[in-house]
Amino acid sequence: MFLQRKELFMKKYKTVVFDIDNTLTLLEPLLETIAFYFKCTPIKAHEAQHFSLAKTYGLTKEQEDYFWNENEWFMHAGAQLARERVDKIFSEYLEEDATIYILTARGPEHSNITRKWLNFNNMPYNEVFCIGKESKVAMLEELQAEAIFEDNPDFFFELWDKGLFPTVDGFCIDYPYNQHAPCKFRLHRDTAELMEAQEVLSDVYRR
């Protein structure tokens, strides 16, 4: 078992990394906006089978790229903080004086709006890194991170492939699209409660 049961988990972290989109934010408002934009039936977070929004809604890559080119700044500015989830994570898993790094795949051109959004939502942080398509895993050792909160399944596979799985505690925010991600811990997307222990690395061994 690679996910520990809630009653056995007592650790709090001093140095923590957070993703933003779908980790600190709610997914459903984004799904609703995309559905409205493309005039299709909206889906709920529990129906999101693909990390790629194009696949989720059956859109082409060109349609997805066009949407983000036209709307990315506004989507970042208007993103809704997952308040219950975030408050639970801070109270349960972070030391009071923890160092907090925000590490996001948003491009560097979105650094200012990202900081404004964090400040507006009273989200504490020490540094913000908007790294675009660069590897998040590559930065974890440099930041000396003890834990990371993330939703992208590809990140967890890379963490495993680079040999950092034993040294950085990965918390996966639970969505249908990341069910097979090799994470140490899985958090309920609404409440941030630790979910039941389960085998999460079977697919890794078959790769």
Q: Where are the beta strands (DSSP E) in 114-155?
A: 127-130, 147-150
Number of neighbouring beta carbons within 10 Å of residue 206: 7
pLDDT digits (tens, 9 = 90+) for 125-182: 999 999 999 999 989 989 999 999 999 999 999 999 998 888 899 999 999 999 999 9
- Kind plus residue range of the DSSP H or E element containing 203: helix 202-206
Candidates 20, 12, 2; CA nearest to 195 is 2
> In this predicted model, what pLDDT tens digit does every residue of 105-131 receive, in sequence order?
999 999 999 999 999 999 999 999 999
pLDDT band of 196, cuts 50, 70, 90: low
Entry pTM: 0.90
Structure tokens at 22: 């779908």
Among 13, 12, 31, 6, smallest CA distance to 21 is for 31
CA angle 171/169/132 to nearest 5° reads 65
pLDDT digits (tens, 9 = 90+) for 15-66: 999 999 999 999 999 999 999 999 999 999 999 999 988 888 999 999 999 9
> CA-CA distance, 188 to 37, in Å (whole number)?
29
Least confident of 34-43, 74-83, 187-196: 187-196
Q: What is the pLDDT of residue 9?
A: 59
> For residues 130 and 114, is the Cβ–Cβ distance under 8 A?
yes
Cβ contacts of residue 207 below 8 Å, gap of 6+?
A: none
Query: How confident is the model over 51-64, as pLDDT tens digits?
Result: 988 888 999 999 99
Task: Name the token pair of 3.
Answer: 């996910």
Amino acid 199: pLDDT:
45
48: tokens are 């999101």
How far apart CA 77 and CA 100 sit, in angstroms, is 21
